[in-house]
Amino acid sequence: MKKAIVVGGGVSGLAAAYLLREKARAKGMELEVQLLEKEERLGGKIWSIKADGYLCEWGPNGFLDNKPQTLELCKRLGADRQLLRSNDNARKRFIYSGGMLHQLPENGPSFLKSKLISWPGKLRLAMEPFASKAPMEVDETLAAFGRRRLGEEALRKLIAPMVSGIFAGDPETMSLKSCFPRIAELEAEYGSLIMAMIKMAKQKKKEKAAGKAVASAAGPGGVLTSFRDGIQTLTDILATALGSDAISSGQEVVRVSKATSSPYRVTTANGDLEADVVILATPAHAGSRMVQELDPYIAHVLGDIPYSSMTVVCFGYERRRIAHDLNGFGYLIPKEEKMNTLGTLWDSSIFESRAPQGRVLLRSMLGGACFPGYIKLSDMDITDRVRADLKTIMGIKDEPSFVRIFRHEQAIPQYTVGHGHRVEMLEEKLRQYPGLFLTGNSYRGIGLNDCVAAANRSADAAIRHLMR
Ligand SMILES: Cc1cc2nc3c(=O)[nH]c(=O)nc-3n(C[C@H](O)[C@H](O)[C@H](O)COP(=O)(O)OP(=O)(O)OC[C@H]3O[C@@H](n4cnc5c(N)ncnc54)[C@H](O)[C@@H]3O)c2cc1C
C-alpha cells in the first residue's frame, strides 16, 4: 500500500489529509494517509476557547461565503447544517478617524455624505477612472497602488486599515498582486476599479432581486460564516472524519529527506517514517527547517517569507455598562490616529452565543507588521492600552469583567513585494522532488477559503503523482 504523510494539523493539513484520502478512495486507490502535528491540540491558528460563558476566538472567527471552498468542504463533511451566519447588523463596519467612528459607506450617496474622507480626498477618489495605468512587470506595493489609483487619503483611511485588518500588514511592503490578485485583475480587465464596482453592483442587484444573500458593499465581500461553537468546529469535524488512527499529535517533524526504500523519510523526535507522498502544511518557516538538508535553496526561499506578530485581546463587559451602540462588526484604526490597537471587533454582535446573556464580548487586535514590538508587551501593559483605546473611542470607562490575551508570535505570512516570484521559484524547484508538496497559508492566500482551496489542489496533485 502507498503511504502519504501530511505534516501540520491546522485547517490546511487536516483538509489536505481528508481530501487526499477521499480522492484516493474515489479512485479505488489503496493509500494510507497519516497526519503529523507538533502540538497535542489540532487546529493550528483555529482555536475557539470557551471560558466563563464567553466564546473567544484565538485566531480566525469565520470564513466568507462568497467563495465556495469552505462551504463545499462543510457540505462534504455533512456539517453545512451547523453553519452560523453572522448577524445582518454585522455588515456595518466602521473606521475610527479624527476622533469619531465613521461607518464605511456602502454606496455612492452614503460615500458623498460620509465625513471619513475630506472633499479634496473624495474628488481625488472620483478621478480614479483617469488614474495612470499599472506599471508593466512591476510587483507594485499596495501603498503605491493606492496612491496611484485612489490618492493618499484613501490609502491612509481605507486601504491601510484593511491591510492591517486582514494581514496585520504594512501596505508599504505588501504586494498588490499577491495580497489582492482580484483587484489587480479588475484593474487590468476594466481599466478602473470604479467602473468595475459599478458593473459588479448591477450584478449584485440582480442577485438580490433573485433572493440571494448579498454582502455589504463596504465589507470584503461575502457573509462571515462560522459555527455556533466557534470556527474550531470546522477543524474538529475534519479531525473526526479523518479518525484518530490517521492522526498523530505531539509529533514534531524535524526533517524530510530522501529514503532508500521509498521516496521520502520523515523524521520526528520519535523515529523515522517513510512515505511516497509528503505534503508540508506547516508555516513556511517550519517547512524551511525541515527541508534544510534536502534542499538548502527551497529552505532559503521558505525562510525568506516574513511573518507579522499579533496580539488578540478579548474583553467581556456587562452590556448595560456600555453606553455605546454595538450595532455592527466593529472598527479599524488608521495608523495616523496613533492609537494602541489596530481595531476592535464587536464579536457578540457579529455572532450569537459569543457572550453570556446580558454581556458583550469585544475583541481587539494589537501589533502587526507596523508595530512589531507590541508582541513583547506585558499583560498589564496590553490591558491598559486596550482600555485606553476603548475609553477614547467608545467611551468605556469600566474595567472589563473578563479578560483573555492571546499572543501569536508568527501570526500571518506577509506577502511582501517579490512574494509571487518566490512562490513561482518554489514551484519550479519542487519539480525536482516528485511527491513532495507545499500547502498552507504561506503561498497563495491566507483566508480559510484559500487554505481549503490550496489543500484541495495539493490533494489533486498528490493523486496525479501517485497515478503516474
Ligand atoms: C489572529 C488571526 C485572525 C485571523 N482571522 C481570520 C478570519 O477571520 N478569517 C480567515 O479566513 N482567516 C483568518 N486568519 C487566517 C487563518 O486563520 C490562517 O491563514 C489559517 O488558519 C492557517 O491555517 P494553516 O493550517 O495553513 O496553518 P496553521 O494554522 O498555522 O497550522 C500549521 C500547523 O503546523 C503545525 N506545525 C508546525 N511545525 C510543525 C512541525 N515541525 N511538525 C509538525 N507540525 C508542525 C503547527 O503546530 C500548526 O498546527 C486569521 C489569522 C490570525 C492569526
Condensed to tens digits (0 to 9), the pLDDT of residues 44-86 reads 999 999 999 999 999 999 999 999 999 999 999 999 999 999 9
Q: What is the pLDDT of residue 217?
A: 45
Q: Which residue has the cell 499572543?
A: 407
| Cα-to-centroid distance, 308 and ligand 1 (Å) | 13
From 49, 282, 347, 450, mutation site for ligand 1 pocket: most ligand atoms within 8 A of C-beta: 282
14 pLDDT higher than 90? yes
Cell of 423: 512562490
CB of 458 shorter than 6 A to ligand 1: no
**Predicted local distance difference test score (pLDDT) of residue 100:** 97
Cα–Cα nearest to 372, from 195, 234, 75, 170: 170
Q: Which residues pair with 51 in a beta bridge?
A: 54
pLDDT of residue 273 exceeding 70, the answer is yes
Supply the mean pLDDT for the chain: 95
Instruction: Quote the pLDDT of residue 49.
Output: 98
Task: Determine which of 133-137, 300-304, 412-416 has the lowest per-residue pLDDT on average.
Answer: 133-137
Instruction: State the pLDDT at residue 202.
Output: 87
Tens-place pLDDT, residues 102-137: 999 988 889 999 999 999 999 999 999 999 988 878
Smallest CA separation from ligand 1 atom 19, residue: 446
Q: Which atom of ligand 1 is nearest to the CA of 365?
A: 1
Nearest protein CA to atom 14 of ligand 1, as residue: 60
Task: HSE, CB side, 13 Å, CA atoms: give it for residue 106.
Answer: 12
- Sorted by where each starts, the structural domains of the chain and their CATH numbers stand as 2-46+230-305+416-467 (3.50.50.60), 48-89+307-413 (3.90.660.20)
- Tens-place pLDDT, residues 194-232: 999 888 888 878 887 887 655 544 445 789 999 999 999
> Which pLDDT score, from 0 to 100, does residue 206 have?
85
Give the Cα separation of 419 and 437 in Å (integer).
18
Question: Residue holding cell 476566538?
Answer: 57
- In this prediction, residue 5 carries a pLDDT of 98
**Structural Rg of the chain based on CA atoms:** 23
Per DSSP, the chain holds a count of helices (H) and strands (E) of 17, 20
- CB of 65 closer than 6 A to ligand 1? no
Atom of ligand 1 nearest to the CA of 63: 11
Task: Read off the pLDDT of residues 141-184 as tens digits, 9 standing for 90 and up.
Answer: 999 999 999 999 999 999 999 999 999 999 999 999 999 999 99
Strands (E), 391-430: 402-413
User: Is 69's C-beta closer than 6 angstroms to any atom of ligand 1?
Assistant: no
| Ligand 1 contact, 355 CB (< 6 A) | no
Taking the mean position of all CA atoms in its chain, how far away is CA 5? 25
pLDDT per position as a tens digit, 324-347:
999 999 999 999 999 999 999 999
Q: How far does the centroid of ligand 1 lie from the alpha carbon of residue 44, in Å?
A: 5
Is the CB–ligand 1 distance for residue 451 below 6 Å?
Answer: yes
Nearest Cα residue to 406 out of 367, 451, 355: 367
pLDDT tens column, 344-378: 999 999 999 999 999 999 999 999 999 999 999 99
